[in-house]
Chains A and B, each alone.
Chain A
Amino acid sequence: MPVSLFGGGRIWLIIAAVMTVFLLALPAAEHGSDAGDGNPDAVGHSADGYYFDLMVGHRKIELPRLFLARGTDGRFRFDAFGSTHAAVESGRYTLADAEGHAMGEAELHTLAEEHKQVYYPVIPADGGAVVIDFSISRQILFLFISALVLLIIAFRLAGRYKQGFGASQAPRGAWQNMLEVMVLFIRDEVAKPAIGPKYKKYVPYLTTAFFFILLGNLLGLVPWGVTATSNIMVTATLAFFTFLITQFSGSKDYWKHIFWPPNVPVGIKFILIPIEIIGIFTKPVALAFRLFGNMISGHIAIVSLLGLIFIFSAKIGPVVGGLFVLFSVPLTIFIYLLKILVSFIQAYIFTMLSSVFIGMALEEHHHDEHAHNAPDGAAPAAH
C-alpha cells in the first residue's frame, strides 16, 4: 500500500514524537530568542551571518573574517582572522553599535561573555574603514561547498564518458544515469528549442548554471545547511553571466530592434527605444530577484510557521503553544517538501529563461523579405 508509512496509527506516533521534542525545546528557545539577542527574527535567520548555530543555547561556531581596510593614513591593509572574536581580541578591530560608533571596553567584554559579537558590524579600531569585507560568511561557505561538490560530480561524470560509459557503452550506475537524464533534459528540452540551431555553444554554461543552482538550493535543505542561492549577490552574479552571454551573442537584428525598431512609425520609435534599453537590464535583474526571492521566502515561511509556536506560548501560554505544534509542524513539512520541488523548478526556470534570453538575442529576423507587403506602420504578423 502506498500510504503504509502513515497508516495504522503510526502517523500519531510520529506527531507525538515531534511534539515531545518541541515541548522539550520550548524553554531553551524561549530563553534564546528574547529581545536584544540581535538576530531573533525570521528575516535575520534567513539572512547571512558569520557563524553557525549548531544547537540552541550552545556556543556558536564563528567563521573566518577577512578585511581589506583603509587606515586613517590612507594606506590599505589586509587582515585575516579566524573569527569575529579573534578580530576584536587582536585590538586592531572593534565593533560598531547601532549608530556606527565604536563600542567601549565594557560593552565589548559583555558581548564576548554572551558570545554575541558576531551580530555587530566590525570596524577598524584606529578610525579607518573596512573597504571590502572578504569574510567567509556561512552563505559563502556553502557557495564554496556547492561549487566543490559540483566540480567533483562533473569531473567524475566526464571521466566516465572518457572511459566510454555512456559514449560507446550504456551508462553505468545510478549516479551517471540520473545525471545524464538531467543533462540531456537541459540540452534537448531547454537549450535546443529556446536557442535554436546554435545551441551547442551555450549548453556548457546552461548545464553548469542548472547544477550549481540546484546544488545550492538543495544544500540549504539539509540540516544546518545554508542556502547559498538565497544571497542576492550570488543570484546577481549568475544573472550577470547570463546578461554578458546574451549581450555578446546578440545578433545584428537584436541591436537593431533595440536602437531602431523596424516597421513602426518614427514617433513610436522614440517611445520604444528607452523601453527596449530598460528591457536589456530588467531581464537579468528579474532573473536574480526571482531566484533570490524564491529561495529566501521558503526559509522565512518555515521560520514564521515554527515561530508561531513560540509566539503563542509566550503570549498565551505553553499549552496553547504546544498545541500549535499540531498545526505548525505538518505545515512546515509541507513547505519543506514544496521547497524541494521549488529547488528543482527554480534551477530549471533560471536555465530556461537564460536560454530564452540568449535565443531572443541570437534570433535573426528577415524583415526585408516581407516588409513591403505589410501595411505601413504594422509589424509583420508571421515569419
Chain B
Amino acid sequence: MGNLGLAYIAAGIGLLGAALAAGLGIGRIGASAVEGIARQPEAVNDIRGTAILLSAFIEGVAILAEIFALVFFFIAQP
C-alpha cells in the first residue's frame, strides 16, 4: 500500500468523523428547535433563523473536514 492508499484511508476516516459529529450536532439542533417551536409556536421565525445559523456553524466544521479530505486526494501521489 503506497501513499495513495494511505491518503484515501485518511480521507475516509476524516470524513467518517466529520459526518458523524456534524450529524449528531445538527440532529440535536433540529430536535431542540422542534421542541422550542412546539412549546412556543409564535416564536417559529426566530427559532428557525437561529437553528439555521447554528447548523451553518456546525456544517462549516464538517465542510472543513471535507475540504481536507479533498486535499488528501489532490496532494496524494501514486
Contacts and interface: CB of A to CB of B under 8 A. Distances in A.
B51 to A, nearest CB: 12
A289 B52 contact: no
Sorting the interface of chain B by its residue count into under 10, 10 to 19, 20 to 34 or 35 or more gives 10 to 19
Given A43-B73, A43-B74, A189-B49, A297 B56 contact: no
Of A193, A292, A293, chain B has the most CB atoms within 10 Å of the CB of A293
Given A43-B70, A43-B73, A43-B74, A293 B64 contact: yes
A306 to B, nearest CB: 18
B29 interface: no
B13 interface: no
Contacts, number: 39
Interface residues of A, number: 17
B37 interface: no
B67 A349 contact: no
Interface in A285-324: 286, 289-290, 292-294, 296-297
A362 interface: no
B5 interface: no
Q: Is the interface of A mostly helix, strand, loop or mixed?
A: helix
A290 B59 contact: yes
B52 A349 contact: yes
A189, A286, A352: residue with the most chain B Cβ atoms closer than 10 Å: A286
Nearest to B46: A193
Given A43-B74, A189-B49, A289 B56 contact: no
A345 interface: yes
B10 interface: no
Contacts of B63: 289-290, 292-294, 297
B60 interface: yes
Given A189-B49, A345-B52, A349-B52, A289 B60 contact: yes
A329 interface: no
B33 to A, nearest CB: 15
A293 B74 contact: no
A296 B67 CA distance: 9
SS class, residues of chain B in contact with chain A? helix
Interface in B25-68: 45, 49, 52-53, 56, 59-60, 63-64, 66-67
Given A286-B60, A290-B59, A297 B66 contact: yes
A352 B67 contact: no
A352 B52 contact: yes
A42 to B, nearest CB: 9
A289 B60 CA distance: 7
Given A43-B73, A43-B74, A189-B49, A293 B56 contact: no
A190 B64 CA distance: 25
A356 interface: yes
A331 interface: no
B78 to A, nearest CB: 10
Contacts of A349: 52-53, 56
Given A43-B73, A43-B74, A293 B53 contact: no
A19 to B, nearest CB: 30
Nearest 4 Cβ contacts at the A-B interface: A293-B63, A349-B56, A286-B60, A290-B60
Interface of A: 43, 189, 193, 286, 289-290, 292-294, 296-297, 345, 348-349, 352-353, 356
27 contacts: A43-B70, A43-B73, A43-B74, A189-B45, A189-B49, A193-B49, A286-B64, A289-B60, A289-B63, A289-B64, A290-B56, A290-B60, A292-B63, A293-B63, A293-B64, A293-B66, A293-B67, A294-B63, A297-B63, A297-B66, A349-B52, A349-B56, A352-B49, A352-B53, A353-B53, A353-B56, A356-B53
